[in-house]
Amino acid sequence: MDPVKAAEMVDENTICVAAILGSTLTGEFEDVKTLNDLLTKKNKETGWDTPIHVDAASGGFIAPFLYPELEWDFRLPLVKSINVSGHKYGLVYAGVGWVVWRTKEDLPDELIFHINYLGSDQPTFTLNFSKGSSQIIAQYYQFIRLGFEGYKDIMENCMQNAKALKEGLEKTGRFEIVSKDVGVPLVAFSLKDSSQHSVFEIAESLRKFGWIVPAYTMAADAQHIAVLRVVIREDFSFSLAERLVADIEKVLKEVDERPSRCSTKTANVTALLDETKGSEADGYVLKKSVKQIEEGVSSYWKKFVDRKKTNGPC
């Protein structure tokens, strides 16, 4: 998100502006501090009171331990609420998430359900009235067991292993690192040359080595870029990073020996390489730019993967 563009789009009907601390695609932290400053100025000029919500599903358990000086939380006056997922870097199994408001007044009463059939008034703002508490107990256990220093050590180790993986991929000379150094411990990377083979082929070939590495196209305005992403968790060790790089190098050698799928299987896609439309005798040659080639490859493989998805129960 561009904070300047986001602030410009705010009008009298805007409920709040949501910033993401740790994007799903690249792990990047959006600039909440700049957004806060711009909205503060706009609120003063217009008389509005547009607040900020921070979606810190991943970054909420990263930033406090690795980037304590980064201002993204309640230190910024306009940040009224923050959500974070315990089942990500909170180190708990799936099913627990948190949302925290700056003050009780910042949680609108219209969002709260009041029930009294259990004998007393019990306010709740969730939609689940009957759900096991095992994930909450597990999260409480992790807080007590690890503490601040424990979480800090784990997150620092994750970041070091992400750095090792990034350096290993760069040494191959075949990849462009898309993810940022500051953010969630993950590595998102694309092929420098995808005119012959794509990241989707690499992801498919890695499965036989036991790796499930997602390949996907980026969001709007960057859909021509297709990347692979590896999320580094506490159980992803340095030796696993080395093994993954070694297996990727094996896959690269394998795909290099194959015929280009981009030129044979994508006949239904607009010309991917320097293809000729008509004959050269006609003096008309259609050439595609690198961006157009990547867009064509990404479009084909997205449709190819969608066709392979299973409909209904397996």
Q: What pLDDT does 262 receive?
A: 65
Q: Is the pTM of this model over 0.85?
A: no
Please tell me the least confidently modeled range out of 63-72, 76-85, 160-169, 275-284: 275-284
How is 4-27 classified by DSSP, letter by letter? HHHHHH--TT---EEEEBS-TTT-
Residue 77 and residue 71 in contact, taking contact as beta carbons nearer than 8 Å: no
More confident residue, 155 or 284: 155
User: What percent of the chain clears pLDDT 70, i.e. is strictly above it?
Assistant: 83
Q: What pLDDT does 124 receive?
A: 81
User: How, if at all, do strands 226-231 and 215-217 pair?
Assistant: antiparallel
Domains of the chain (ranges, CATH numbers): 3-111 (3.40.640.10), 148-263 (3.90.1150.160)
Q: Give mean pLDDT, residues 230-248.
A: 96
- What would the pLDDT profile of 259-312 be if each residue is shown by its tens digit? 887 644 433 333 333 443 444 444 444 455 666 666 776 777 677 667 655 554
Q: Nearest CA to 4 among 15, 14, 17, 16? A: 17
Please tell me the least confidently modeled range out of 179-188, 207-216, 239-248, 286-295: 286-295
- What would the pLDDT profile of 30-55 be if each residue is shown by its tens digit? 999 999 999 999 999 999 999 999 99
Residue 118 pLDDT exceeds 90:
no
Residue 8 pLDDT exceeds 50:
yes
Q: What pLDDT does 274 receive?
A: 40
Q: What pLDDT does 211 receive?
A: 96
